[in-house]
C-alpha cells in the first residue's frame, strides 16, 4: 500500500512540476533547471540530512531532474552528476530504507561520507 501512495505522490508531483514549467512558474535563478516539487516521505526521517527537511523523492520512480532538484535542495554539490548515478543503479529494494545498495554503488566514486549522507537523505527507496 505504501508503494501505491508513493507512486500517487510522485505522479502528483510530476504533474505539478510540469504545470509550473508550462506556466513559467519557476523559482530558480541563474538559468538553472526548475526544481520539481518533492514528494513527502511516508516513513520516519532517517536523521542523516543536515537541512532538517523531511521531504524526499523516490530513488526508484522520480525522474533524473526531480532527483537532481532534491539533491540540490539537500546541499549536494554537482547534483546533476549524482542524480545520473542514482538513476543508473535502479532499482533499489523497497525494504532498504537506508539505501545501503546505493551507498555501496556510490562508494566507488569516493564522494565522502557527508556527500553520501546528503544524497541518501534526499531519497526514499
Q: Does 46 or 77 have the greater pLDDT score?
A: 77
**Residue ranges per structural domain of the chain:** 2-124
* pLDDT tens by residue, 88-97: 999 999 999 8
Bridge partners for 56 per DSSP: 39
- Average pLDDT for 2-16: 55
pLDDT of 56 over the 70 cut: yes
- Its pTM surpasses 0.75: no
Please give the Cα distance from 118 to 109 (Å, whole number): 15
The CA dihedral of 22, 58, 2, 37, to the nearest 10 degrees, is -30
Strand order in the sheet with 123-124: 39-40, 55-58, 123-124
Residue 11 has pLDDT above 70, yes or no: no
Q: What is the pLDDT of residue 55?
A: 73
Q: Which triple of cell numbers denotes residue 74?
A: 539537500
- CB contact burial 51-73 (16+ within 10 A = b; e otherwise): eeeebbbbbbbbbebbbbbbbbb
Amino acid at each position: 500500500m505504501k508503494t501505491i501512495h508513493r507512486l500517487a505522490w510522485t505522479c502528483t508531483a510530476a504533474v505539478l512540476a510540469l504545470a509550473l514549467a508550462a506556466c513559467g512558474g519557476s523559482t530558480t535563478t541563474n538559468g538553472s533547471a526548475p526544481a520539481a516539487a518533492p514528494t513527502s516521505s511516508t516513513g520516519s526521517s532517517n536523521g542523516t540530512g543536515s537541512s532538517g527537511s523531511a521531504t524526499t523523492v523516490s530513488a526508484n520512480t522520480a525522474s533524473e531532474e526531480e532527483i537532481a532538484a532534491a539533491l540540490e535542495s539537500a546541499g549536494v554539490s554537482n547534483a546533476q552528476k549524482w542524480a545520473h548515478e542514482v538513476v543508473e543503479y535502479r532499482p533499489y529494494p523497497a525494504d532498504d530504507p537506508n539505501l545501503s545498495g546505493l551507498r555501496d554503488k556510490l562508494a566507488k566514486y569516493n564522494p565522502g561520507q557527508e556527500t553520501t549522507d546528503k544524497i541518501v537523505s534526499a531519497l526514499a527507496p
